[in-house]
Amino acid sequence: MKHSRIAGTGSYLPERILTNAELERTIDTTDEWIFSRTGIRERHIVAENEHTSDMAFEAAKKAIESASVDLQTIDLIVVATTTPDRIFPSTACLLQQKLGIVNCPAFDLQAVCSGFVYALATADNFIKAGAAKCVLVVGADAMSRITDWTDRSNCILWGDGAGAVILQATDEQGILSTHLHANGNYADMLTVPQGVSKQEGSKTILMEGNAVFKMAVNTLDAIVDDTLIANGLEKADIDWLVPHQANIRILQSTAKKLGMSMDRVVTTVDKHGNTSAASIPLALDVAVRDGRIKRGEIILMEAFGGGFTWGSVLMKY
């Protein structure tokens, strides 16, 4: 059976940086209050004429260059996003057009903050089934477009960005296992109520912060155990934790669960905020490019998001 491994990474952040100090001038908050509760200092915000597919394009170009692959060898594109450019066509098809790739299948996947983990698991299974050999997997979100910037309870969290990887077929294991979960019974705890067929309610993010935090900590603790047991590994076998960047306290809780120093946790939440599906590939690209993550090391990626959805990917980089 074929396996898959990440051959290249890339990321993109919009130029505009929104700091906590700026938020102090528009809502009742302070830099100290935001940072002490979330670990966030700043976040990037898309320009008026910038869209999710634009960010995905920039991240994808860097991942393709990093992997040294020919564009036309890419035989599948999966884009994880909650903020597509249009209702249709998919952001993946718009990205395909911008890249100049023809004929390969391309589709979007929606699992909110767990989107990249879901997308990577999907791509891995395409490769295992022999249906693809070289997959472009992107997580991209413009969360600022669905944020109520007068809601001090959650507008402080969100940012925009994109991250991408090239996943290639290989004879040696790269991705060791993937674990995906969802429970729609908690749909209203973290939601944008209004959509296409349902046109009543808020058009921006609503969140029951404390309840979501508790659920995230408990489910991520459980999936860490599940992932280790499934692979016959001990906590000490994990070299790096690359988690969804939602809140520094959730990251610290997962690190404690693993008995891991925060020095081994890739943390970008301070500069990126919560970029939803983009946060894990963004963090991965940062740590690969600065030399922290090296080939052969064991990496655990995990995420929790609206739905609720949650999941993990364990891989040898």
Residues catalogued as catalytic: 113, 244, 274
Q: How many CA atoms lie within 13 A of 234 on its CB side?
A: 3
Taking the C-alpha atoms of residue 174 and residue 155, their distance in angstroms, rounded to an integer, is 37
Which class for 116: exposed (0-12), middle (13-18), buried (19 or more C-beta within 10 A)?
Answer: buried
Give whole-number Cα distances, 298 to 77, 177, 234, 253, 265, in Å: 25, 12, 12, 20, 12
Bridge partners for 3 per DSSP:
170
Under DSSP, is residue 234 helix (H, G, I), strand (E, B) or coil? coil
Query: What value, to the nearest 5°, has the Cα angle with vertex 296 and ends 293 and 297?
Result: 50
Tokens found for residue 169: 């077929």
The terminus-to-terminus CA distance of the chain in angstroms comes to: 19
Residues 6+ apart with CB under 8 A from 129: none
Q: Where are the alpha helices (DSSP H) in the chain?
A: 20-24, 31-38, 52-67, 91-99, 115-128, 209-231, 248-258, 269-272, 279-289
Residue 136 · residue 60 · CB < 8 Å: yes
Instruction: Report the chain's C-alpha Rg in angstroms.
Output: 18
Got the DSSP string for 140-190?
EEEGGGG--TT-TTTTTTB-EEEEEEEEEEESS-SEEEEEEEE-GGGGGGE
Length of the chain (residues): 317
